[in-house]
Structure 1
């Protein structure tokens, strides 16, 4: 807050001296300096209502401007909490109106769903000559959930990077405790994936009102995050605030009444002024201190402060108070015409009243002819001072005014919700239209407005009646809206609410409506799984199955499809096959989507059961059904299509799987079926990893994980983290791989399912690749489960056997790699592509301690088989094994050739750690190998992670560990840990060795 409060009626000025806050200002300075130096910073400023957060943000803005960093600021509003991205739009939209950055067509299209200034930009072509990008297939229609939120988040990050490209950027968002869920989700994405720019994002919020996801953002930001607390004034600071004209006794009394809260102190001081003297009355005796009860109760303010603000309002004339109340109803930042409509007076009279309100510092001019209250708490009091009936009428008048102006439903919904009555069909239609509009970007807001519509909606007519429409499912029927509400709640991560709504829908459907009941049960079961309530999901399906008289009816088959998927997740191949055996492959009364679902599920049990020919036949049959199906049929089968894709990947049918995944993802996005997008993206990431396309795998796995976080689905999150872990470890970022693997394992709640075992396997691989071989071998072995009832699929079991054979071979004559080679041979009997190559590589590991020349031959053959199957990464590992075996046999020329081939494959894949290992082995053979120069993020030499490279460069410059820690805002222990890994990767034992390695001049590739 500022200095003295008892100033002119214009109120405190923006440039009044700041009281206290020295420690906070130091933190702000440091954060800005870090951002100016190129290090992203996320600053969380917390404090109670009126504690001075807004003033500190203003101070931060002035400090940024001194450094010539552009500043954008916005604020969330108490009475518009459901407006998607309200604070961000408030901050950025005017800037976009004046200066639109260069955006490609797809990015502009996504951003236009958030920022009004970009509306129509993507239809008009790219700005500033940016290349046009066609809209992604499936993203332009097909229901109210057509845009993937992750894609939008990525587009916003790109926009911020563009805005910060020239001079940096400081983005300040105030009162974020009132922000909608979509805004908090976006902030969460930005702190996990910081913009690559000189940027600081600062948010201010009240901790008592902050959602857990908001309060933990600074922790998620890690080394990029910094916290500041706006604490109450001390008695000395209160005296400084009030100035020398106020006596010490009066200052002490105001301190006690305000608790040192700057806003409360200012409100009391405005009322009492600077009067002094021995006979001055106590606060409780002040005239009007307990009066004006007609102005309403604002319970979150202390009584004395509330009364002080009410007394301030009592000084307004009737028209000014009326306009103030209408303005409080209208919006956080309002136009005079809107306030006039709410007050039911002419705009001319409203302007006169606004002049009076501005003179008394109740409101202040904002941008573009609009006004704002001087503080959100003032608006809070003004809003509460209006009678409830009058507020309802004012909301209704403003809603009508906006409708006459042609304002979109999203702007009217806030007022319609607060003014509409039961059975008001136009109001219901407005709320539903608003919900469907914002659903892709802000499903939590969509759920809020759908609930509001359902509260206004009369009960549906009996199903089957003429008034009910076809199937009793008219566009605005309760059944239809309950289904949409369950969907919105689910994709916004409110799973408990979603499953309760789905169960309400189920109770509403009559017992004989088996088709719609089966779909409702399927929805419930999917949500129950995401809640880790697998038994409840299964019981629900079985109970509904018992209610269906005909076990071969389409509704019964649809539910059995759910049971098959449940058994497959438990790697219960026999159980899944038993359920499938009770289902025909097709029937005349089946919907096309059901036929595709059954065809998709038949492949995995055949593959898992070792029936190669049958699995191939089922895969080819499913391919024909899928290719002939329109998108609408695929949308009905998205619960099962991921199983077909995963089956094809395990069988080595990568091209088929990737084509199917791409189309299915587009369908899932266009129909808002985010629950299935995660499984499809993870399948895509797995395929790309096996094919050695690690950069693409990283993108797919990241999107899968971020989508799972938005859904708050533990199962889907573990899936995504598992794939991210595998991509990171094979890319050579071992620290990150371990973190991801640990998070994935922690997310497995012991369900005994495939996804949990995959997490433990991935963590084991990461441990092995980071040098913690014994721990990794134990984790991978534990992931395999009981040999009689394995928890992993045959493809992953084979990879595990090959890795364990390599580990045992590294122990020399003390190991037993032959056992694992035998297991690999057994697993490869299914005869799928690449399996023979992995089995042969395992046999090469087993032969190496005893006959390295034979091992070299086996590994070379394995490399050929793996390369023919498209498995570049494993082909490179086989080439590396062949080179090492030739080297052990004393065959230097073949060793050089095999290692050269390995290096080419690893470089093409982006496997930095394996490339660095291969380079070291080539140097031992006398080959001069160029040290990769840093060409961008994630392209560090020697397989170093970005953080390791940063530390290594500072060490090479002569910095001590303490100096490195201070420069990078790390602990000394963290620096020491990273440096030990740097020593290992560079093959050095001292700081001098680090400098020598990094400064070495690159030589020829080969000699």
Structure 2
């Protein structure tokens, strides 16, 4: 049966409710070691500082459970109770836990000092927890002096990582968003996760307790700040709270001391310590009180001449039907903030539409703008209603900017893979633009022609893509539309690549990159698809470092503004780039975020691409994942695109086919790939991408023992890379290396391996670089050239560790184990083949610890421990724990003195 500490260390969810927090693992491990030291008579004093809700009390509770499990005397107290630190004699091993030290009054500081001094002479472990922002000067002085004398160790608890957030909240589609929004703070994460629930959680009770301590004046100021939403001048805060400035400042002093609010910037303005706290305070305000407060804010802002974007939020929350002049404010504000905060724009427009009479010009205007905001947010939109009902009427309204909505609709549909619908929208959109003179019309025409170029590229129609991209670039340049020009030039680069003109493609990509790099973020958000197209083009050109930079920027801006329509596409491309670069952990997180965003309403093509890429990431990450599990992931991806056209679904089956070839199903992989690509000439895929798949087909042939067929694919690969970039030639060189090795021709195989390494090195293809070096090392081991093999495998091992590829690490280690020891290792440590983590686990298991005990001690899952144990057995050539223990014992007794183990 698990101990109380076991239940606290790992959060489990039952019936949808959270039962505990994940613990700060480093700090808890250190404290557990200090608990063990108590039995040797060694005491210690430890201070735990951190933000409210970060897990200090959780850590103390878990430590108390551990202390009782160790049969220690456990004494717990809290500064909140006012009783002060306990009196401890210190004759027996004792654990003293003092929470909320920041609330201790002056009379109890001397007791705390005495306790700290006691730990230097008695077996007492003293743990002090506090909020550092609320710590009094006197208490801070006591702790500072103790730390300076070496009597106190200080820890500051940081936020949870994404994995710990998953432990806390469970696996949920919005996990990544919640983790970022809650800054990894367990208290805020629980509040965010329970936002739609009616039940009161412990997190709610904690904040209610903080509010309950406020006097009426402080509560009024806090509520006024919650209604304002963004920090405003003290005079405005006072007016909303119904207090004078002096009273408001005094209340702010108290709220700051309690760390509910904090000063911001250099201006005399104040904000809640976190927006989750603000939202909680806002939710506690009664409906009529809230309505009156919003109206007071709007009146004050109007009198101060505030911009419409500041007033709109309060108007929407308290719309006064007797003031029709408020409606244009909502519409103008929505138009102004459309790309910076489409969710706000939609809220304001929906408020206006509740009052506007249907059929009024402003009603049509608000409808079209609301559809644009909905599209930008990634929501569903009735495009037919937009085209046939709203747009024909709205586009005739003088001064209206409605063609941009059509451009957004086209982009959304094309990015979603709905190519036929996008084509219809483009034709209708260009027809609607004829005769209009609004300043946005040229930018919309640029977007339409750019999307036509993208659709032509999907059809591998190089000429149509080039003509439309050129038309878009010309219009954009004439009207100073830098982002539109960047998107168009990026499509021109893709057209050049399709025509196998790598130099022209690189020149165009340079121009497109320069255009977006010299555009500030405030302008980039108006056309995030341009940034996406530039990054995707650089990915296609194997300019992975630049692609990662631009796609990361696009993802950051899409998250910040809430433009979710483009975020899954950006993340999918970014994940593919990170996979190629060998950033496997990062690629996994990126693709998981994309999958979460696509889950509710993503198209099958987009979801299939993410699933296929994730299957490949998992393949390289985990050497012990069963082939059946990998194939199941790929089959799920394939099932999603069975009803799609051949051009749209080619890449997903190719990725799955490549995976099948890797996991020993070469015949099935070969058939699937050739079916997807339309046969040996691969007519369904762009020529620059063929060398990669020819290499895969060559590998499949070799695995089936058909060297002649492998040679045919190598010849086709050689023909496909003419006039292409050096990095694409690397796939050919590696295919030739394998073919020569299969024929027993080691020297030409090694020569091709060296050329392949030159092709991949320095171009961001770290995963392929590592695979090539590992394969070359295997060739050399097979040929008996141990010295050369050792050098190649050593480089491959370092890079495999850097990439985070357990599969490649194991592959390299197996080859290294076949080498005879050289002079530097002969007679040395027999455990040299183990990683640091594997050596740590092997040492604990050899002492008789179970997998559960090892997992508990190292804060790992039992499955992870067993996975590591399987690798240890293979590397050391042992079959069970007893054999492992004997091997570890021999290592300890035969390692020369002074040498590291």
1:647 and 2:647 aligned: no
CA distance in structure 2 between the partners assigned to 1:398 and 1:880 by the alignment: 68
SS at match of 2:15: strand
Matches within 5 A, 1:161-200: 161=160, 186=174
CA distance in structure 2 between the partners assigned to 1:960 and 1:671 by the alignment: 46
Aligned equivalent of 2:492, options 584, 588, 602:
602
Aligned equivalent of 2:501, options 588, 592, 611:
611
CA distance in structure 2 between the partners assigned to 1:417 and 1:607 by the alignment: 52
Matches within 5 A, 1:120-131: none
Aligned equivalent of 1:690, options 580, 586, 593:
580
Aligned pair count reads 681
1:451 and 2:345 aligned: no
CA distance in structure 2 between the partners assigned to 1:163 and 1:556 by the alignment: 42
Higher RCO (Cα < 8 Å, 6 or more apart): 1
CA distance in structure 1 between the partners assigned to 2:636 and 2:833 by the alignment: 32
1:592 and 2:481 aligned: yes
Matches within 5 A, 1:871-890: 871-890=765-784
Change (3 A) 1:895 1:917: same
* 1:871 Cα deviation after fit: 2.7
**1:922-967 C-alpha deviation (Å, 9 max, x unpaired):** 11112468557676xxxx659xxxxxx9999989968699x99xxx
TM-score, reference length from structure 1: 0.54
Change (3 A) 1:891 1:589: closer
* Aligned position for 2:321: 421
Matches within 5 A, 1:34-73: 35-37=7-9, 39-45=10-16
Question: Any conservation in 2 of the 1:689–1:727 contact (CA below 8 Å)?
Answer: yes
CA distance in structure 2 between the partners assigned to 1:696 and 1:581 by the alignment: 36
Question: Any conservation in 1 of the 2:500–2:688 contact (CA below 8 Å)?
Answer: no
* 1:685 Cα deviation after fit: 3.5
1:563 and 2:452 aligned: yes
Question: Any conservation in 1 of the 2:379–2:565 contact (CA below 8 Å)?
Answer: no
Aligned equivalent of 1:486, options 368, 371, 376:
371
CA distance in structure 2 between the partners assigned to 1:494 and 1:98 by the alignment: 48
Matches within 5 A, 1:565-964: 565-577=454-466, 579-580=468-469, 585-586=474-475, 589-593=478-482, 594-629=484-519, 631=521, 634-665=524-555, 668=558, 672-709=562-599, 712=602, 716-732=606-622, 735=625, 741-748=634-641, 750-752=643-645, 756-786=649-679, 790-812=683-705, 816-853=709-746, 854-927=748-821, 941=838
Question: Any conservation in 1 of the 2:331–2:348 contact (CA below 8 Å)?
Answer: yes
Question: Any conservation in 2 of the 1:396–1:419 contact (CA below 8 Å)?
Answer: no
SS at match of 2:528: coil
**1:381-410 C-alpha deviation (Å, 9 max, x unpaired):** xx9xxxxxxx99887556546778999999
* 1:818 Cα deviation after fit: 1.0
CA distance in structure 1 between the partners assigned to 2:186 and 2:841 by the alignment: 17
Change (3 A) 1:826 1:644: farther
CA distance in structure 2 between the partners assigned to 1:584 and 1:598 by the alignment: 5
SS at match of 1:831: coil
TM-score, reference length from structure 2: 0.59
Matches within 5 A, 1:109-128: none
**1:785-817 C-alpha deviation (Å, 9 max, x unpaired):** 455564444454322222332332234456732
Change (3 A) 1:45 1:478: same
CA distance in structure 2 between the partners assigned to 1:998 and 1:499 by the alignment: 71
SS at match of 1:495: coil
* Aligned position for 1:521: 406
Structure 1: where are the runs of 5+ without partners? 1-28, 47-61, 71-94, 100-117, 122-126, 129-157, 174-182, 215-329, 335-345, 348-366, 369-382, 384-390, 463-476, 943-948
* 1:541 Cα deviation after fit: 1.2
Question: Any conservation in 1 of the 2:657–2:668 contact (CA below 8 Å)?
Answer: yes
Question: Any conservation in 1 of the 2:873–2:884 contact (CA below 8 Å)?
Answer: yes
CA distance in structure 2 between the partners assigned to 1:521 and 1:906 by the alignment: 47
Change (3 A) 1:909 1:844: same
CA distance in structure 1 between the partners assigned to 2:782 and 2:287 by the alignment: 86
* Aligned position for 2:149: none
* 1:172 Cα deviation after fit: 9.9
Question: Any conservation in 2 of the 1:161–1:196 contact (CA below 8 Å)?
Answer: yes
SS at match of 2:14: strand
SS at match of 2:742: coil
CA RMSD of aligned residues (A): 6.3
Question: Any conservation in 1 of the 2:631–2:659 contact (CA below 8 Å)?
Answer: yes
Change (3 A) 1:164 1:200: farther
* 1:673 Cα deviation after fit: 3.7
CA distance in structure 2 between the partners assigned to 1:931 and 1:630 by the alignment: 51
Change (3 A) 1:670 1:651: same
* 1:559 Cα deviation after fit: 1.4
CA distance in structure 2 between the partners assigned to 1:651 and 1:497 by the alignment: 36
CA distance in structure 2 between the partners assigned to 1:686 and 1:731 by the alignment: 14
Question: Any conservation in 2 of the 1:42–1:191 contact (CA below 8 Å)?
Answer: no
Question: Any conservation in 2 of the 1:604–1:644 contact (CA below 8 Å)?
Answer: no
CA distance in structure 2 between the partners assigned to 1:691 and 1:164 by the alignment: 23
